[in-house]
Amino acid sequence: MGNDTPVGALIRSVVLIMAGFGSGIVAPPACAVQYYTATPLGTLGGIRSEGFGINDSGEVIGVYVTSVGITRGFLYSRGVMRDLGTLGGDTSSGHGINTVGQVTGTSFTVGNGALHAFVYSGGAMTDLGTLGGPNSFGEGINASGQVTGYSIRRSH
């Protein structure tokens, strides 16, 4: 937001001061100060948002909470935040993003209200189903589009 802050300057100062005490302690070599900038992503009109993943292109995925308290997944790309949609239910969340912008996460389905893992790519959400139980959860996705996560089966 325009206020760049050096990270680690205080720590280096403390290390250098501590290095002056006692014998045999050597100060670490000087290193370049890194600066970071915080970028507000927005909330799509909701009350808050949380980022859960970021790729090397700076695309961010996560969730935002609507003004009526519903949690929805988002993709922030090229300065624009987009709602990921759902698999027919009212909530979703984005958890992993790969280098080409494919997203995985979890969404409520329509009807029985189960949670299913999904892949979001090219503006469309694809249901990954489950491994025999009612629910599955997408947590990470690699550059080949393979998803990792978990599925919950009903106990008998």
Q: Kindly report, residue by residue over 101-148, the tens digit of the pLDDT.
A: 999 999 999 877 899 999 999 999 999 999 988 999 999 999 999 999
Q: What is the pTM of this model?
A: 0.75
Q: Kindly report, residue by residue over 5-39, the tens digit of the pLDDT.
A: 444 433 333 333 343 444 455 556 667 888 888 88
Write out the two tokens for 12.
Answer: 């280096």
* Percent helix, strand and coil across the chain, each to the nearest 5: 5, 45, 45
H runs (alpha helix) in the chain: 9-19
